[in-house]
Structures are given as C-alpha cells and as structure tokens.
Amino acid sequence: MWLLFGTRQPADFYYQEELEPLVAGGQLRVSVAFSRADAAVAFDHHTQKFAVVAGQRGYVDGAMREEANAQRLWELLQQGASFYICGRTAFANTILAGLREIIGRYEPDETAANQLLYQMMGEDRLMLEVFTSYAGTHFAAEKAHIPLSELVLHNNDEDGYWIVVSGRVYDMNAFNHMHPGGPKIIQSYAGMDGTIAYQKIEHHLNSEVDAMLGMYELGILHTPHFGQQWGVALAPERGLQVMTLREVYVAWRDLLYMVVEIENALQNDFRILQEPFTDIETQSAVVFSAAKAQQIGQAHERLVTSYLDFLLGEPLPTLWRVVIGVLGYKQLDVGWMATELQAIQSSPQAGVVRGLPRWLRGELKAAEGEVAHLRPFCDRLVAEDGRFLRELKLALRAGVLVFERYEAQTMGRGQAE
C-alpha cells in the first residue's frame, strides 16, 4: 500500500503511531507533502519512527507527477491497484487531474486513456470520499455564466453530459461512469435541469454528495435580463392574457427541455444495440437479436404515438400563439401552427412512419429467429429518429438564441429573426 498524504505543516501529520508499524513491516509506503512548510518526512528504520527533515513545500498532486512516482503509480495501475481519494473538493479535483495526466503519459491515445479511467471506476478501483465546509450548492464564488443554448447541446457521447442543479451547470462526463445507479441516470437528465430529481432523493441535504457534485461545476446557468417588458398573448381556454417577456422565455425554455428529455429517453432506449442485453453477451461482444429489434420498434412506437402526439398536439401550437402575440407578429395566423401540424400528422408519410413498428413485428414473426437482415433497418430507424429530435431541438434552440442575444430588446429586435 502507498499513502500519499498532504497537509499544511509537520504538526498536522497525524496518526504517526498507527502508521509506523506498517511502514516498518514493509506493508505501507508513506509520502508526505507539506504545503506551508519547507520540510519533508523520512522514515528511520533504526528507530522505526518518522522524522521531519529539510525539504521543499509542495502538494500531493505535484509529488504524484514526479517521474519516479508517476512511473510507480502507472505500474500499480497496470497491476490492478485500487485508488482511494479522500479530501476536499478542490483537492480531489487536483488528484484526479494528476491521475489523468499520468495515464496520458503512458497511454497517449486519449480515448484509450479515458476508457482506462472509466474501467477503474466501473471496477470500483477508483473511489472518492469528498467533503467541504458545507453551505449548499451556491457556496462557490462567482463563476462563468453558461447559456441555455449551450447546455442543451451536451446530452450525448460526442458533446458530453452536462446537467443543471440549483442553477449551476455541471460536467458529468467522468461521474457518468461512477454513478452507483449506472450512467443512464445521468444521461436521462443531461442537457437540462435536474434539480427536482436531485432534491427528490434528498442529495441536496447530504453534504458529502453535494461536495462531490462541486467537483464537476462549470459555472452558473445564465438567465437573460428582460426588464419589465410584457405583451398580450392568446392563451388556450383563457383568451387574451398579459404575459411578461420572461414568462414567454420560460415557456420556450420548458418546451425545449421537454424535447431534450424525449431525446434523452430515446437515446437510452436505443443504446440496447450497443450494450449487452443477455448473459451470453459482453461489452466487447454484443449480439443483435430479435428481442433487441423488438425493443427498437417499441421505442420508435412510443416516440410517434406518445411523445410526439403530446408535444405536437398542444404545447407547440400553444407556444406559437403566445410568441406571436407577445412579440407582436400581427401578420401571422395564430392557428397556423396547429393547422400545419395536424396536416403533417394526417399525411400518408406520417402513416408510414407510424406503421413501421407493426411492419417490424411482422418481419420478426416471419424471420423465426434469423434476424441479421433486420439490423440495417433498425440502425436506420435509430438514426432517423435521432436526427428528427435533434433538428427539433436545434429549431427551438434557435429561438432561445434570440432571447439570449437581445434580452430586454427581444420584442423589438427579435422579430427580424
């Protein structure tokens, strides 16, 4: 075992009596870094005691990066050693960064290096116990402001996974692989506000959990400043209604979050094609089967008969009526969106899309287990459903960009866009 211990000064080097027998017996190696004293620790094998000697002040992550120590850490990692990090949020961040750098020295391929780190997390060989002087998720100093238009892009493997909790944005890429409940929980709330889910299981009341969340903080979710601007909207069942510009923005934001949530749900469903589903499969040997094809068909069916029927049935036309009223688009028809969407959903093309799950069930029944020829169809279905939702998300995001760009001037200048 190897203990890398960081503290301020020699007087803070605790538990020496407990550690000395382990070092004397060759069971433990101890390296100590003092951040506020030019000193070091040596072990006297004659007296079997620690001794403070002359040295240079430093930090544990610096000691880790020294060539001899880095090489030894890499060797231990290759041998399957476990790493346990205990300390404050900032300390844990620097140690993880140091560990990533060391892995990168010996594994220059970034993808392979990340995979090695994720494998350690998945095998419970990298464990964290993080704490802080607790004051909740808003204790930190001023942070960068991150716009909603940026947040919603980060809900996939390519762009990473960001979530919002209590108004702050967190990059959950690393923790995605460490979450006790598996990565799909993080992926379900990526690109959106997960505060309600976070508080529902009372994570915000647990200082250790909240401190660990702080390790991944990127900044504050930016809220545009709309002043006292307001307008009149035609609301369903309530007729004309006065709404502030901020209320319109919130309605637009909530609809965008709804699309992101649907996109997340669908991506989680579609991962079945790349993940083990039965006992005979492994992560490196995934098999396409009739059960997986059936799951893909059911996910598509939920999209077109449940998610989209709801989204396109009332929320999107309602937002259209609200926006053209408050922003003053007098030349536009308040009923246009509902009419267009109804025409699209009643079209022969929409009928074909709705009928694909039924067609797939028929093919699976006729195939009698030989389903390899259906893999290209399932891949295409996954790709097209994903493309549709991404385009819908980007269209709504374009509206958010207008709010973010013009803020209080959105009602006057936003019409041009």
Domain boundary among 183, 202, 221: 221
Q: Is residue 257 part of a domain?
A: yes
Average pLDDT of span 195-211: 66
Average pLDDT of span 138-163: 86
Q: Is residue 155 part of a domain?
A: yes
pLDDT at res. 113: 80
Q: Examine the pLDDT at 324 and tell me if it is beyond 50.
A: yes
Q: Examine the pLDDT at 18 and tell me if it is beyond 90.
A: yes
**Looking at the structure, do residues 266 and 409 belong to the same domain, yes or no?**
yes
Q: Examine the pLDDT at 141 and tell me if it is beyond 70.
A: no
pLDDT digits (tens, 9 = 90+) for 354-390: 999 999 999 999 988 789 999 999 999 999 999 999 9
**Looking at the structure, do residues 199 and 269 belong to the same domain, yes or no?**
no
Q: Is residue 306 part of a domain?
A: yes
| Average pLDDT of the residues of the chain | 87
pLDDT at res. 132: 63
Which tops the pLDDT comparison, 180 or 163?
Answer: 163
Domain containing 383 equals: 230-416
Q: Examine the pLDDT at 205 and tell me if it is beyond 50.
A: no
Domain boundary among 83, 100, 131: 131
pLDDT at res. 64: 94
pLDDT at res. 234: 73
Where does the pLDDT of residue 179 fall: very low under 50, low under 70, confident under 90, or very high at 90 and above?
A: low
pLDDT at res. 208: 59
pLDDT digits (tens, 9 = 90+) for 307-321: 999 999 889 999 998
H, E, C per residue of the chain? CEEEEEECCHHHCCCHHHHHHHHHCCCCEEEEEECCCCEEEEEECCCCEEEEEECCCCCHHHHHHCHHHHHHHHHHHHCCCCEEEEEEHHHHHHHHHHHHHHHHHHCCCHHHHHHHHHHHHHCCCEEEEEECCCCCCCCCCCCEEECHHHHCCCEECCCEEEEEECCEEEECCCHHHCCCCCHHHHHHCCCCECHHHHHHCCHHHCHHHHHHHHCCEEEEECCCCCCCCEEEEEECCCEEEEEEHHHHHHHHHHHHHHHHHHHHHHHHHHHHHCCCCCCCCECCECCCCHHHHHHHHHHHHHHHHHHHHHHHHCHHHHHHHHHHHHCCCCCCCCCHHHHHHHHHHCCHHHHHHHHHHHHHHHHHHHHCCCCHHHHHHHHHHHHHHHHHHHHHHHHHHHHHHHHHHHHHHHHHHHHHC
Q: Is residue 408 part of a domain?
A: yes
**Looking at the structure, do residues 97 and 16 belong to the same domain, yes or no?**
yes
Which tops the pLDDT comparison, 154 or 139?
Answer: 154
Average pLDDT of span 1-25: 94
Domain boundary among 191, 221, 251: 221
**Looking at the structure, do residues 168 and 126 belong to the same domain, yes or no?**
no
pLDDT at res. 138: 47
pLDDT at res. 342: 93
Q: Is residue 137 part of a domain?
A: no
**Looking at the structure, do residues 254 and 356 belong to the same domain, yes or no?**
yes
Q: In this prediction, what percent of the chain has a pLDDT beyond 90?
A: 60
Q: Is residue 136 part of a domain?
A: no
pLDDT digits (tens, 9 = 90+) for 220-261: 999 999 988 888 877 666 677 888 999 999 999 999 999 999
**Looking at the structure, do residues 262 and 400 belong to the same domain, yes or no?**
yes
pLDDT digits (tens, 9 = 90+) for 95-131: 988 998 999 999 888 778 877 877 787 677 888 787 7
Pick the closest to residue 247 from 192, 184, 170, 325 (CA basis): 325
**Looking at the structure, do residues 255 and 381 belong to the same domain, yes or no?**
yes
**Looking at the structure, do residues 372 and 264 belong to the same domain, yes or no?**
yes
**Looking at the structure, do residues 202 and 313 belong to the same domain, yes or no?**
no
pLDDT at res. 92: 83
**Looking at the structure, do residues 112 and 159 belong to the same domain, yes or no?**
no
Q: How many residues are present in the chain?
A: 417
**Looking at the structure, do residues 325 and 344 belong to the same domain, yes or no?**
yes
Is the entire prediction scored with pTM above 0.95? no
Where does the pLDDT of residue 280 fall: very low under 50, low under 70, confident under 90, or very high at 90 and above?
A: confident
Residue 86 has phi, psi (to 5 degrees) of: -130, 125
Which tops the pLDDT comparison, 210 or 223?
Answer: 223
Average pLDDT of span 327-340: 83
CATH code at 200?
3.10.120.10
pLDDT at res. 96: 86
Q: Examine the pLDDT at 54 and tell me if it is beyond 90.
A: yes
Q: Is residue 138 part of a domain?
A: no
pLDDT digits (tens, 9 = 90+) for 285-297: 888 999 999 999 9
**Looking at the structure, do residues 290 and 384 belong to the same domain, yes or no?**
yes
Q: Is residue 389 part of a domain?
A: yes
The total number of structural domains that make up the chain = 3
pLDDT at res. 292: 94
CATH code at 12?
3.40.50.80
